[in-house]
Chain A
Amino acid sequence: MFKAILARMKQGHRTMRYPQEPVVIPERFRGFPQLDNSACRADCQLCREVCPTGAISCTPNLSVDLGKCLFCAECQKACPHGGISYGNDYRLAANRREDLVAQEGEEYRLAQALEEKMLKLFGRSLKFRSVVAGGCNGCEADTNVLSTIGWDIGRFGIQFVASPRHADGLWVTGPVTENMREALLLTYEAIPAPKLVVACGACAINGGPFIGSPEAHDGVHGMLPVDLYIPGCPPHPATILDGLLRLLDRLPGEAGARG
C-alpha cells in the first residue's frame, strides 16, 4: 500500500495540457505535405509512380490525396527537386472526402464544427462504438491511447463504449473487409439516431495499403455517411483528437483554417 502511494507520487500528474498548450510532436513526424511544383518538368511523374496508393496527381496542379496517403514519404525520397515534403503539422482531419486533397496554392479545409442542433446533443458528451473492420491494430492502438492518462480524452466528454445502444457514433477503422461488412452495418443500425460516423485512418477512408483488394471495400466512404475523416497510417493521436475537438467546436481561439 505504501509502495503504491510512493509510486503515485513518483509517477506524478501526467495528463498533457493540450489544447491550452501545444502538443509535442516528434521532429521527424510526417504531417501536412508542402508542395512546390515550380521545378517540376512536364514529363516527370516520379512522385506519382512511386506512390503505393495512387495518392498523388500531377495535373493540373501537384496534389496529394490525404485520404489515400500513407505518409510513407516515398515521393519525397524520389523527387530530385524537393517538390514534396512532409511537414510537422498534424492537423489533417476533414468533414468531406473531397476536402482531403491537399493542392498546391489552395487552402486545406480542416474539419468544421457540427451544426448547432448536433452540437447541442453531442458537444459535451460524445460516445463512440468502435468497429474494427480489417484494421491492422495501428489505428486501433492510437485511438486506444487517447483514453490513457497522458491524453485523457474523457476530460472532453468523449468516451468509447461497449454497446452500440450506448453510443452516439460509429468509429470505423480498417478497409472494411467483406467478412466484417455485415457486422459493421448491423452495428451502425443498432446505434440510435441521430448518429455520427468517423473514418479513422487511411484504410477506413479509402482502403489504405489494401486499396483495390478483392476481399475488402476500400473503406467506409460510400458505404455509410461519414462525418469526420482522419488521415494517417495510422493517424497520430494528436491528429485524431484535433479532428474530434474541431467537430465539437472545442478548440479555443483557434481558426479552422491552417495558420
Chain B
Amino acid sequence: MNRLTLLQNGASLARRDIPVLHGDHFLEEILSALDHGWRVVSYFALPEGEGLALYCVLSLKADATLGVLHTRLDDGGFTSLVPYAPQLHLFEREMAEQYGVIFEGHPWMKPVRFAPPLATLPGFCPTGPGKIGIMDFYRVEGSEVHEVAVGPVHAGIIEPGHFRFQCLGEEVMHLEISLGYQHRGVEKLVLGGPYPVTFRQMETVAGDTTVGHGLAYAMCLEALAGTRVPARAHDLRGIGAELERLANHTGDLGAIAGDVGYLPTASYCGRIRGDFLNLTAEICGSRFGRGLLTPGGVNFDLDALTVEKLRRRLLAARDELTNAVELLWDTPSVLARLEGTGVVSKETARELGLVGPAARASGLNRDIRRDHPYGIYNMTHIPVVTARAGDVYARTLVRWLEIERSLDFVEEQLRQLPGGGIENPVGSLGEDRLAVALTEGWRGEICHVALTDGRGRFERYKICDPSFHNWPGLAMALRGGQISDFPLNNKSFNLSYCGVDL
C-alpha cells in the first residue's frame, strides 16, 4: 500500500502529486488495500491526457485516512475486480456506461442508469443508452416459478424504480433492482462549474438529504479554495445535519410501523417528523434545509430567543417521539413482524460495502462522523450505534438509538453555541487539484470528489450517495423471504432513487 497517495477528509491535493500507476499495480494496490482493512468510497473515471484516467478513493477507518490511486487506460479494456471485491460491482458498471470501459470478467455487466455516456474517447465504445428498463434480467426457470414486475411507477408518492422478483409461491428466490428513471444528468451539468445553480443541484442530488450533500459539496469547495469555516458555522451545520437525520429516522420508524399495520406509531411519527422539519425551517426558512448552508459557512444565525424556542420544541418532540416509539417495543405482534425479517448477514454487508444504519444494523461499526471526523464532529463525538441481527428489527432499533444520540447532540450544541461569524468568503478554486469530502448523511456515507482543471473549474465531480452502496443490500435482504415482506424491507432501508440516478 505504499503507492497510495494519502489525504484527509475535507482536504485537497495537487493532481500532479498523485502518481499514474501501471494498470496492474493499480489493481494490485486496490486488492491489497481491501485485504488490509481499507474500503472503497469512490471509484470513477475521467478523460485525462490522451486516454481515460481511473481514480479509486479508499478509506482506512483505523487511521482516519483516505488514499487515492490513479491509473490511465489507453483503450477500452480493463480487468474487473468484482470477482474478488463485490463492493466494486456498481462502480465498474457505472464506468462502463459513462465511458465505455470494458471490464473483463465482470459477472453482472448491465446498465446503471440507461444514460448517455459522459464522453466518447478514441478507442472506447460506449454502447449508448438502451431503452430504460430493457435489459437481461436474471430469470429462474421452472413450471412453478413466477416472475413479478413492479414499477417504475409505484403505488404511493414514491420515486420511480423497477423491481423484478423471481418467486416460488410466496418465496422470493431473487430480486433484481433496475434504476435510472430519475436520471437528471447531475454529473454532466456540473462539468465546467461551479455555476450559480451548482449548489442548488447539490442540495437536490437527494432532496431529503439536502444538508448531507450540500455539506459535502461545501467541504469540497472549501478544500479547493483554502477557506476556513467559522466555529459557529460548524455548529449550525451540525445542528442542520442532525435535524435532517431526526426527521428522516422518525419518518422511517412511522413508515415501518405503518407497513406492519401498527397505526398508532405510524400516525404519531408521521406528525412528529414534521416537527423536526419545522425546527429546520425555524432556522433557515426551509423544512428541508435548503439555503441553510453556503460554501464558507451558513446563511442563517440564531439569536438567544430562537435558541430557547428550538430547545423547548426539541424537548417536546423528544417526549412525544419516545412515547410513540416505545409502543413498538411493547407490542409483541409488531416485534414478531420485525424480527428475523430481511436478514443481511455481517459478511454479506461487508462484501457489498453497505454503509449507514443498514451497515450498522448488520454489525458493521462504521460511521463517517467518527471514522473521518469533519466540522463539528472533530469537537463533539456522537457515539456509534450498532446491532447484530441485520434484520428489519435491527434496522429499526439502530434508527431509534441514533435518534436519541442526535437529540442529545442538538440539545448540547444549542446550549453551547460558540460566538463569532457564520461565513467566510470562498475565493477562486485551486487549479489542477483533487478534493475529497465525506459526510455521514442519515442514510450513510456520502462521498464527493472534485477534480479541477488548469483554470480552477470542475473537470469532473463524482458523487456517491449512500444508496449507491445499499440497494444491493435490499436485494439480498429479500432472498428467501416472503414477497409480501417487500414493502417492510424496503421501508427498513428507505433508499434514494435520485441519489443513485443522479
Q: Which residues of A contact B (CB under 8 A)?
A: 3-4, 7-8, 10-11, 14, 26-30, 49-53, 70-74, 77, 86, 130-145, 148-150, 160, 162-163, 171, 173-175, 177-180, 182-183, 187, 208-216, 233-234, 236
A213 and B184 form a contact (CB under 8 A): yes
B255-290: contact bitstring with A at CB < 8 Å (1 yes, 0 no)? 000000000100110110110001001111111101
A162 and B206 form a contact (CB under 8 A): no
B185 and A216 form a contact (CB under 8 A): yes
Interchain CB contact (< 8 A) of B189 among A10, A137, A148, A213: A213
B188-203: contact bitstring with A at CB < 8 Å (1 yes, 0 no)? 1100000111011101
A150 and B158 form a contact (CB under 8 A): no
Residues of A within 8 Å of B323, CB to CB, are 7, 10-11
A7 and B207 form a contact (CB under 8 A): no
Residues of B within 8 Å of A131, CB to CB, are 153, 160
* CB neighbors of A among B135-165 (8 A): 152-153, 155-160
Residues of B within 8 Å of A144, CB to CB, are 156-157
CB nearest neighbor in A for B209:
A137
Residues of A within 8 Å of B35, CB to CB, are none
Listed residue (A211, A213, A215) with the most chain B CB atoms within 10 angstroms of its CB: A215
For the complex, is B115 an interface residue (Cβ under 8 Å from A)? Answer: yes
Return 27 A-B CB contacts under 8 Å, by A number. A7-B324, A7-B327, A11-B324, A14-B271, A26-B278, A27-B282, A29-B285, A29-B286, A52-B196, A52-B200, A71-B285, A73-B299, A131-B153, A134-B498, A135-B182, A138-B204, A138-B208, A138-B290, A143-B157, A148-B267, A173-B157, A179-B115, A180-B152, A183-B160, A209-B200, A213-B188, A233-B290
B189 and A210 form a contact (CB under 8 A): yes
- Assembled-state Cα–Cα distance A28/B116 (Å): 41
A7 and B268 form a contact (CB under 8 A): yes
CB nearest neighbor in B for A128:
B157
Residues of B within 8 Å of A211, CB to CB, are 197
For the complex, is B63 an interface residue (Cβ under 8 Å from A)? Answer: no
Interchain CB contact (< 8 A) of A150 among B114, B186, B271: B271
Listed residue (A72, A74, A144, A160) with the most chain B CB atoms within 10 angstroms of its CB: A72
Interchain CB contact (< 8 A) of A140 among B155, B158, B180: B158
Residues of B within 8 Å of A28, CB to CB, are 281-285, 300
Residues of A within 8 Å of B132, CB to CB, are 179, 182
A234 and B288 form a contact (CB under 8 A): yes
Residues of A within 8 Å of B278, CB to CB, are 26
Residues of B within 8 Å of A132, CB to CB, are 157-160, 182
Known contacts A26-B278, A29-B285, A187-B153, A210 near B185 by CB under 8 Å: yes
B184 and A177 form a contact (CB under 8 A): yes
- Assembled-state Cα–Cα distance A29/B280 (Å): 11
Known contacts A174-B182, A215-B115, A149 near B197 by CB under 8 Å: no
Residues of A within 8 Å of B458, CB to CB, are none
Q: A30-B286, A177-B184 are in contact. List 8 more A-B contacts (CB 8 A).
A: A28-B282, A73-B291, A134-B182, A136-B498, A138-B290, A148-B270, A214-B185, A234-B288
Interchain CB contact (< 8 A) of B188 among A142, A160, A214: A214
Residues of B within 8 Å of A175, CB to CB, are 184
For the complex, is B388 an interface residue (Cβ under 8 Å from A)? Answer: no
CB nearest neighbor in A for B203:
A209
- Assembled-state Cα–Cα distance A234/B204 (Å): 10
Residues of B within 8 Å of A233, CB to CB, are 200, 204, 290
B128 to chain A, nearest CB (A): 13
Residues of A within 8 Å of B271, CB to CB, are 14, 148-150
CB nearest neighbor in B for A150:
B271
- Assembled-state Cα–Cα distance A71/B235 (Å): 24
Listed residue (A30, A137, A233) with the most chain B CB atoms within 10 angstroms of its CB: A137
Residues of A within 8 Å of B324, CB to CB, are 7, 11
For the complex, is B496 an interface residue (Cβ under 8 Å from A)? Answer: yes
- Assembled-state Cα–Cα distance A105/B117 (Å): 48
- Assembled-state Cα–Cα distance A26/B281 (Å): 6
A50 and B264 form a contact (CB under 8 A): no
Interchain CB contact (< 8 A) of B281 among A7, A29, A130, A215: A29
CB nearest neighbor in B for A138:
B207
CB nearest neighbor in B for A12:
B320
Residues of B within 8 Å of A53, CB to CB, are 197, 200
- Assembled-state Cα–Cα distance A225/B299 (Å): 38
Residues of B within 8 Å of A137, CB to CB, are 159, 206-208, 496, 498
For the complex, is B55 an interface residue (Cβ under 8 Å from A)? Answer: no
Residues of B within 8 Å of A27, CB to CB, are 282
Residues of B within 8 Å of A216, CB to CB, are 184-185
Residues of A within 8 Å of B152, CB to CB, are 180, 183
A134 and B157 form a contact (CB under 8 A): no
Interchain CB contact (< 8 A) of A210 among B184, B208, B281: B184
Residues of B within 8 Å of A73, CB to CB, are 285, 291, 299
B206 to chain A, nearest CB (A): 6
B95-135: contact bitstring with A at CB < 8 Å (1 yes, 0 no)? 00000000000000000011110000000000000001000
Residues of A within 8 Å of B160, CB to CB, are 131-133, 180, 183
For the complex, is B181 an interface residue (Cβ under 8 Å from A)? Answer: yes
- Assembled-state Cα–Cα distance A211/B153 (Å): 23
Residues of A within 8 Å of B113, CB to CB, are 179
Residues of B within 8 Å of A180, CB to CB, are 152, 160, 181-182
A36 to chain B, nearest CB (A): 20
For the complex, is B24 an interface residue (Cβ under 8 Å from A)? Answer: no
Residues of A within 8 Å of B185, CB to CB, are 210, 213-216
Residues of A within 8 Å of B197, CB to CB, are 52-53, 209, 211
Interchain CB contact (< 8 A) of B287 among A136, A142, A160: A142
